Structure 1
Amino acid sequence: MTQRLVSTFQINITAVRSNFYKNQKLTVERLSHPEALSRIAGEWGLLDRQTWPSMPFTSAAWIVPWWKHFRRNTALVRDELFFHIVRDGNGELVALVPLMRTFAPAIGPRALRILQFFGTDAALTEVRGVICRPEDHVPVVKAVAAHFVAACGDWDVFRWAGLHRTVDEYDQPGLNCKFLMRGELPDYLIKLDGSWDDLRQRVSANMRKNLRKAYDSLERGGINFALRVTERHEDVAAAFARFVELHTARAQAPDMILHPNKFGPSNVRAFFGAYLHAAAERGELRIFELEIGGVAVASRLTFLIESDLYMYFAGYDPAWKTHSVMTVLMAEIIKWAYAHGIEQVNLSTGHDQSKVRWKPCEILFREAVQVSPTRRAWAAFQLFRAYEGWGRLRIRWKP
């Protein structure tokens, strides 16, 4: 059974910090221009290293280029920068709120105005929301919610994501703007305690069986494999090209579970072309490839953030499906993580049996909406539901 990490988000707040928030007001302010983001880069970096769990999606290195490559400006939808930050009474940066205000349609007096976090892509930004220390999360969300209720004429619907608690814990007496639950997103973590052999004994019986069969299949066929790890920026372009080829091959494979090709659109490839090179220069990129006969047959993008390894998208040659090359690659990556002192492997978001078999700890991120307490907003809420439905279809079927 998957262990659920509920208590981790309920970190014991020290008496000093708890009393601090009782006596000091958090201030929410807007950054109106992209150039303003560069002025808080130092503070942003310090705060980002204190978030949990560690992910690439909270960093300026992800969010700033995301706006460049993915913001929309069409007749149907227009995204406006609506980035906010939260400071305490001493001026310390407590949280970043990477918001945009989306107009749908883009023009007209009846346009639906949606506040939502950066990352409205085809499931590339896996977790979105406020960026802050775990112990600051609830007071920050409440401060941001109160700020926007006071400016309720500027928006119709607020799409919350990445919430750590159940939605009723964010409601505030007298605010007249409830959080309405919209869904949950699980994330799965493996603590690398002990050794690889210890982990292998902890996983499910099915996982142990799959591991044994995968390695035995290659051995019976006299097939030797090697693990290639790309981390130098000068090697990134070639490794990423091989990854895209394998990811596309898996997406196009007939008679298999549907896996959409996430890296087909040109703006996606442009974003990752820049992001991966920068991540390699920071020492945060590892592209793992399983090679057979000197040819990559499986590949996975991962991000090394402090002592955590985040598993991102993968791809493999369907011709090697019967040898379970992705299972072998996954096992080899975790062995590598043990050998290099990695403390935690994040299997990424979304429920998947291949993740659960590792007996990971589960974290739940919740999604909710607030409807602005105005007559116009409630009238537009049905239009928002249609917008949500269109978004789900776009993410599911976009090639």
Structure 2
Amino acid sequence: MIIKIIKTKDEFSALKGDWLNLQKQVPQILPFQSFEWNKTWWDCFSIQGNFRRDELCIVTFWVDQKLVGVLPLFTSRFGIYEITIYRYTRPFGSDPNLTEIRTPLILKDHLENAIDYWMQMIIKSNNSLCRFQIIAPSSQITNSTIKYREILFLEKRIIPNYILNLSENWDDFKKSLKRNIKESLRHCYNSLTKDKLSFEFITLTSRDTILENIDLFYMLHKNRASLKSTISHPNYFHEDKHRKFLENFIQSFDSDAQNLCLFCLKINNEIVAMRFGFIFGDEIYLYYSGYNHHYGKYSVMTTLVAEIIKWSIEKKLKRVNLSIGNDVSKTRWNPEEVSYTECSAVKNNKFNKIIESIVHIIKRNRKSSLLSA
């Protein structure tokens, strides 16, 4: 295996063909592992300032001149002018949860080698003031914490991801559901019929049509975020930069690409709920959503997800990824859970232990002051 580090934007752009080819080989690829997402992210979120400078550190793995794995990493250097005080190496996607899962894109047979290389980067780091962030399948992180005593693993966060394995038709899929979700579905459709409301399910797949309707999505997403009587969700697109990122990601595809979907639920000719979906391979990932709270009593988001599942079955997709987060809107569908672990790590020495103890005390005191305020 040959390992190459991508350090320039030109090298990054030149990697596109090999990266796209690797995407076709990795099963159950996430949108956040795609070349389009990572290139758009770097162009939008990397910082070149006086105090912080971000540098590409994309680790690529090659076998017989074929790309078999990518660790999309970058290093943030903090300091004044040419003097670096602190380094932080982490995966692409350090944003306010726009990138929901930041795991590497690697063929399964080479995943362990890639994780080992990641660990060796930490062990071989010369600068004591250097922190790393790791995100990978939980089993891999567990094995690494046992194997590498030279590494001090810090705070960890478990990220549950929920995936529905689809049947060949809706009726068979519905039979596998638990009683509570079956009753929920009956309520969704019957409540509309009872109030003599007609609904229509629409799928927007054209890049340009999606962009024409994206402002309505932002409005419904903001509406959903403002609700206090249900599970709290922030407005992830309140900043111009966040909206620009999503729009640039959409524009990175050809106009007739089959990867993009904006699902809409119309009631009496008014769009009342929307949700993004991204298709890679035979799986669709359901991204952020929004709805008109005036139609909340009809459980329009449940109806929309049900219609998306029906649509996915018709399109012969094998899985619907319900995204991350342990909440009832996902778990009641009886999905498969795949967990990832995100953790920070430093080289295991006395100096780092002292520094991390100080950081822990500062964080604890800050949290206490916020709670008492």
The 10-residue stretch of structure 1 (370-379 or 312-321) with the greater mean CA deviation from structure 2: 370-379
Structure-2 residue corresponding to 1:19: none
Q: Partners of 1:77 and 1:324 in 2: how far apart?
A: 45
- Asked if 1:192 is matched to 2:166, the reply is yes
Query: 1:129/1:211 Cα in 2 relative to 1: closer, same or farther (>3 Å)?
Result: same
Instruction: Give the CA deviation at 1:274.
Output: 1.8
SS at match of 1:359: coil
TM-score, scaled to structure 1: 0.83
- Asked if 1:141 is matched to 2:127, the reply is no
Instruction: Give the CA deviation at 1:368.
Output: 2.5
Contact 1:112–1:383 (8 Å) recurs in 2: no
Contact 2:88–2:130 (8 Å) recurs in 1: yes
- Asked if 1:290 is matched to 2:265, the reply is yes
Contact 2:41–2:93 (8 Å) recurs in 1: yes
Structure-2 residue corresponding to 1:51: 26
Structure-2 residue corresponding to 1:367: 342
Q: Partners of 1:46 and 1:317 in 2: how far apart?
A: 40
- Asked if 1:323 is matched to 2:298, the reply is yes
SS at match of 2:172: helix
Q: Partners of 1:174 and 1:211 in 2: how far apart?
A: 49
Q: Partners of 1:131 and 1:154 in 2: how far apart?
A: 29
Contact 1:74–1:106 (8 Å) recurs in 2: no
Structure-2 residue corresponding to 1:81: 56
Instruction: Give the CA deviation at 1:353.
Output: 0.9
* Aligned pair partner of 2:285 in 310, 331, 348: 310
* Aligned pair partner of 2:331 in 356, 380, 387: 356
Q: Partners of 1:39 and 1:320 in 2: how far apart?
A: 48
Q: Partners of 1:172 and 1:361 in 2: how far apart?
A: 27
Contact 2:152–2:348 (8 Å) recurs in 1: no
- Give per-residue Cα distances to partners, 1:103-138, cap 9 Å, x unaligned: 456779683321110001111111113220123211
Q: Partners of 1:386 and 1:272 in 2: how far apart?
A: 37
- Asked if 1:35 is matched to 2:10, the reply is yes
TM-score, scaled to structure 2: 0.89
Contact 1:157–1:371 (8 Å) recurs in 2: yes
Q: Partners of 1:46 and 1:122 in 2: how far apart?
A: 29
SS at match of 1:165: helix
Contact 1:99–1:117 (8 Å) recurs in 2: yes
What's the Cα RMSD here? 2.7
Structure-1 residue corresponding to 2:370: none
Percent identity, please. 26
Q: Partners of 2:283 and 2:222 in 1: how far apart?
A: 27
Instruction: Give the aligned length.
Output: 365
- Asked if 1:114 is matched to 2:88, the reply is yes
Contact 1:78–1:106 (8 Å) recurs in 2: no
SS at match of 1:203: coil
Query: 1:155/1:64 Cα in 2 relative to 1: closer, same or farther (>3 Å)?
Result: farther
Contact 2:7–2:56 (8 Å) recurs in 1: yes
The one-letter amino acid paired with 2:11 is A
Query: 1:123/1:137 Cα in 2 relative to 1: closer, same or farther (>3 Å)?
Result: same
Q: Partners of 1:117 and 1:333 in 2: how far apart?
A: 31
- Give per-residue Cα distances to partners, 1:4-39, cap 9 Å, x unaligned: xxxxxxxxxxxxxxxxxxxxxx44332111111122
Q: Partners of 2:9 and 2:259 in 1: how far apart?
A: 24
Instruction: Give the CA deviation at 1:199.
Output: 1.8
Contact 1:78–1:104 (8 Å) recurs in 2: yes
- 1:1-399 to 2 correspondences below 5 Å: 26-73=1-48, 77-88=52-63, 90-104=64-78, 111-153=85-127, 156-170=130-144, 176-177=150-151, 179-180=153-154, 182-279=156-253, 281-373=256-348, 376-382=351-357
- Give per-residue Cα distances to partners, 1:336-371, cap 9 Å, x unaligned: 111111111111111111111111111011123321
Instruction: Give the CA deviation at 1:261.
Output: 0.4
Give 5+ residue unaligned stretches, structure 2. 368-373
Structure-2 residue corresponding to 1:18: none
